[in-house]
């Protein structure tokens, strides 16, 4: 990592990073009557609708990162059946949840639509976007095909978009290029049963065993996740490894600070030409995010997601739990009234400064250690699966762990206070603690 910003921070930003819509050549817009229009001339779009323009350009990045836009939900006509009303309510609820970023709940509502109406085009559309975002590429492809099979003429613009998305998935499967829209990055494809890997061709030239080493690290990350979380993604995970320069070329525009990796449905990581423990820890960390999002359908609660990833990365380096100096640093934050409530960290770490971000990772790690001491891997698998049903976080935590967010927060703080009863703690600053976070 070039900076002191934890890379885990990057996963958060990747979600909200706007795609670069320049050179998009076709726009979709929806008028006040809910009718969808397609144009290649943005100037022809009424001013009021212009801010809602949906770039449908040829750039692959914008194909998938334009948010969860899709066909408008049509109100049922008079005399509609109970099933039609239910489908309408579920679809509208899903679209509203997507707007709020509640992807897990939206996903379960859309699945419920398909149980009543297996050929519902809108449900297939949104599930394709959600699955792609979860790294379930084959499932996304299936939903796009089902969408095309059932979408009528009124959805023609979305059909065209679905065709382009299918082609993009095929490209990804062919592994001919990264999802970077620019740069002469040449990638080498590598298939293994559990991973679809591409790596920067330059990486393979320095170390003859580069590919085997990467596959071994990834399999170790997978075995570790299975051991700790009791579950792994149902489809092979896509991984792209870059030399530093190529990574910056492809992804610098996404972040406002230096990063070495992120997950956006595929793992993107910077690799040294001679991979070692640093890459292994990075892969353990990012793979945990892949498992979390695939199972839970979102990245939230963020403290749980980051705590699990952080622990995985540490365990890959045989570092168990938090060091004494890190626990003391947390004690000092409690004393100083600077403890960040886990509740505040649930939606993301955005808006935290450098030092707060470091503290957020430590607190998240402490909270997950507390949970891990009280749950089996099977219970943790259940935790992720229940989050994936869209049940509220606190209800899931209470059901599986026995305490809600505040309860866990309080328990973690009292454990730290109990360990260091004296308030006259050491005075080293937090940033002087043991090691950088990945
Ligand atoms: Zn992370």
Q: What is the CATH number of the domain that holds 304?
A: 1.10.390
Q: Do 290 and 428 lie in a common domain?
A: yes
| Ligand 1 mean position, distance from CA 211 (Å) | 24
> Would you state the pLDDT for residue 152?
86
358 confidence band (pLDDT: 50, 70, 90): confident
**Domain end call among 120, 154, 174:** 174
For residue 410, being part of any structural domain is answered with yes
pLDDT of residue 252: 75
Residues 332 and 397 in one domain: yes
Give me ligand 1 centre to Cα 223, in Å: 18
At 212, the pLDDT band (50, 70, 90 cuts) reads very high
- Check whether residue 385 and residue 266 sit in a common domain: yes
- CA dist., res. 90 & res. 73, Å (int): 10
124-133, pLDDT tens digit by residue?
999 998 888 7
**If we measure between CA atoms, which residue out of 295, 301, 260, 254 comes closest to residue 65?**
254
Distance from residue 374's CA to the centre of ligand 1 (Å): 23
Q: Which residues surround ligand 1, an ion (CB under 5 A)?
A: 8, 11, 309
* Separation of CA 117 and ligand 1 centre (Å): 37
Domain boundary among 122, 150, 174: 174
Highest mean pLDDT (candidates 105-119, 198-212, 249-263, 378-392): 378-392
252 located within any domain: yes
Shared domain check, 148 and 207: no
- Tell me, in angstroms, the distance from the centre of ligand 1 to residue 4's CA: 14
> Is 126 found in the same domain as 206?
no
Ligand 1 centroid distance, CA of 7 (Å): 6
Q: Look at residue 191 in the predicted model and tell me its pLDDT.
A: 82
Residue that terminates a domain, selected from 174, 198, 228: 174
CA–centroid distance, residue 261 to ligand 1 (Å): 9
Please indicate, yes or no, whether residues 125 and 193 belong to a single structural domain of this protein.
Answer: no
For the chain, give the secondary structure using H, E and C.
CCCCCCCHHHHHHHHHCCCCCCCCCCEEEECCCCCEEEECCHHHCCHHHHCCCEECCCCHHHHHCCCCCCCCCCCCCCCCCHHHHHHHHHHHHHHHHHHHCCHHHHHHHHHHHHHHCCCCHHHHHHHHHHHHHHCCHHHHHHHHHHHHHHCCHHHHHHHHHHHHHHHHHHHHHHCCCCCCCCCCCCEEEEEECCEEEEEEHHHHHHCCCHHHHHHHHHHHHHHHHHHHHCCCCCCCEEEEEECHHHHHHHHHHHCCCCCCEEECCCEEEECCCCCCHHHHHHHHHHHHHHHHHHHHCCCCCHHHHHHHHHHHHHHHCCCCCCCHHHHHHHHHHHHCCCCCCHHHHCCCCCCCCHHHHHHHHHHHHHHHHHHHHHCCHHHHHHHHHHHCCCCCHHHHHHHHHCCCHHHHHHHHHHHHHHHCCCCCCCCCCHHHCCCCCC
Q: What percent of the chain lies above the pLDDT cut of 70?
A: 76
Is 104 a residue whose pLDDT tops 90? no
Q: Is the pLDDT of residue 354 over 50?
A: yes
Q: How far is the CA of 286 from the centre of ligand 1 (A)?
A: 6
Under the banding of pLDDT at 50, 70 and 90, the label for residue 257 is low
Identify whether residues 220 and 125 lie together within a single domain.
Answer: no
User: How many domains in the chain?
Assistant: 2
- 288 Cα: distance to centroid of ligand 1 (angstroms): 8
With contact defined as beta carbons under 8 Å apart, do 151 and 158 qualify? yes
- Is pLDDT at 433 greater than 60 in this prediction? no
305 C-alpha vs ligand 1 centroid, how far in Å?
7
Is residue 301 one of the residues assigned to a domain? yes
- What pLDDT, on a 0 to 100 scale, did the predictor assign at position 15? 26
pLDDT tens, residue by residue, 314-350: 999 998 889 999 999 999 999 999 999 999 999 988 7
The residues with which 263 forms a beta bridge, in sequence order, are 267
Q: Is there a domain that residue 437 lies in? A: no
Cα–ligand 1 centroid distance for 12 (angstroms): 8
Considering the domain architecture, whether residues 279 and 380 belong to the same structural domain is answered as yes
Domain membership flag for residue 3 = no
Q: Measured in angstroms, how far is the CA atom of residue 294 from the centroid of ligand 1?
A: 15
What percentage of the chain reaches a pLDDT higher than 90?
A: 46
Question: The CATH number of the domain where 54 resides is what?
Answer: 1.25.40.10
Distance 326 CA to ligand 1 centre (A): 18
Neighbouring C-alpha atoms within 13 Å toward the C-beta of 234: 12
At residue 255, the pLDDT reads 67
Q: How far is the CA of 306 from the centre of ligand 1 (A)?
A: 5
Query: Rounded to the nearest whole angstrom, what is the distance from the C-alpha of residue 248 to the centroid of ligand 1?
Result: 19
Please say if the pLDDT value at position 398 is more than 50.
Answer: yes
Residues 408 and 319 in one domain: yes
Give the pLDDT band (50/70/90) at residue 173. low
Residue 235 belongs to domain spanning: 186-432
CA of 214 relative to ligand 1 center, distance in Å? 19
What local confidence, expressed as pLDDT, does residue 326 receive? 94
Residue 345 lies in a domain: yes
Express each pLDDT in 15-71 by its tens digit.
222 232 222 333 444 445 444 444 445 555 555 554 433 332 223 444 555 567 888
> How far does residue 24's CA lie from ligand 1's centre (Å)?
31
Please tell me the distance from the alpha carbon of residue 111 to that of residue 117, in angstroms, as a whole number: 10
pLDDT at 201 over 60: yes
Q: How many A from CA of 353 to the centre of ligand 1? A: 16
Evaluate whether residue 297 is within a structural domain: yes
Distance 59 CA to ligand 1 centre (A): 27
Whether 8 is covered by a domain: the verdict is: no
Same domain, 138 and 65: yes
> If you measure from the C-alpha of residue 8 to the centroid of ligand 1, how many angstroms do you get, rounded to a whole number?
3
Whether residues 226 and 112 fall in one domain: no
Within this chain, do residues 287 and 148 fall inside the same structural domain, yes or no?
no
Residue 300 Cα to ligand 1 middle (Å): 12
């Amino acid at each position: 990592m070039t900076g002191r910003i934890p890379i885990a921070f990057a996963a958060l930003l990747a979600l909200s990073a706007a795609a670069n819509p320049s050179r998009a050549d076709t726009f979709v817009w929806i008028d006040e009557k809910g009718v969808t229009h397609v144009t290649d001339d943005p100037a022809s779009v009424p001013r009021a609708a212009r801010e809602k323009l949906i770039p449908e350009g040829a750039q692959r990045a914008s194909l998938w990162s334009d948010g969860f836009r899709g066909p408008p939900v049509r109100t049922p006509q008079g005399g509609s059946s109970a099933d039609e009303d239910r489908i309408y309510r579920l679809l509208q609820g899903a679209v509203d949840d997507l707007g709020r970023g509640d992807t897990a709940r939206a996903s379960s509502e859309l699945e419920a639509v398909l149980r009543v109406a297996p050929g519902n085009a809108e449900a297939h559309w949104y599930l394709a976007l959600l699955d792609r975002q979860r790294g379930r590429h084959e499932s996304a492809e299936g939903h796009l095909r089902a969408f095309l099979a059932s979408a009528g003429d009124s959805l023609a613009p979305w059909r065209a978009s679905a065709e382009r998305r299918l082609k993009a998935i095929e490209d990804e499967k062919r592994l001919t290029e990264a999802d970077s829209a620019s740069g002469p990055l040449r990638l080498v494809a590598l298939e293994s049963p559990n991973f679809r890997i591409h790596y920067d061709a330059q990486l393979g030239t320095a170390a003859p065993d580069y590919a085997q080493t990467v596959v071994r690290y990834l399999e170790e990350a997978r075995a570790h996740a299975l051991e700790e979380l009791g579950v792994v993604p149902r489809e092979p995970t896509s991984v792209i490894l870059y030399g530093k320069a190529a990574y910056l070329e492809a992804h610098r525009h996404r972040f406002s600070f230096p990063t070495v990796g992120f997950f956006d449905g595929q793992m993107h990581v910077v690799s040294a030409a001679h991979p070692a423990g640093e890459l292994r820890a990075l892969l353990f960390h990012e793979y945990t995010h892949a498992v979390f999002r695939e199972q839970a359908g979102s990245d939230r609660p963020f403290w749980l997601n980051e705590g699990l990833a952080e622990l995985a990365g540490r365990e890959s380096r045989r570092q168990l739990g938090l060091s004494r100096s890190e626990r003391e640093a947390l004690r000092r934050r409690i004393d100083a009234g600077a403890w960040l409530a886990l509740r505040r960290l649930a939606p993301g770490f955005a808006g935290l400064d450098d030092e707060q971000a470091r503290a957020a990772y430590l607190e998240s790690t402490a909270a997950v250690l507390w949970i891990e001491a009280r749950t089996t891997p099977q219970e943790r698998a259940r935790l992720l699966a229940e989050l994936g049903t869209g049940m509220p976080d606190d209800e899931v935590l209470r059901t599986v762990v026995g305490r809600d967010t505040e309860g866990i927060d309080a328990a973690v703080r009292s454990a730290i206070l109990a360990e260091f009863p004296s308030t006259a703690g050491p005075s080293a600053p937090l940033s002087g603690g043991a090691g950088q976070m990945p």
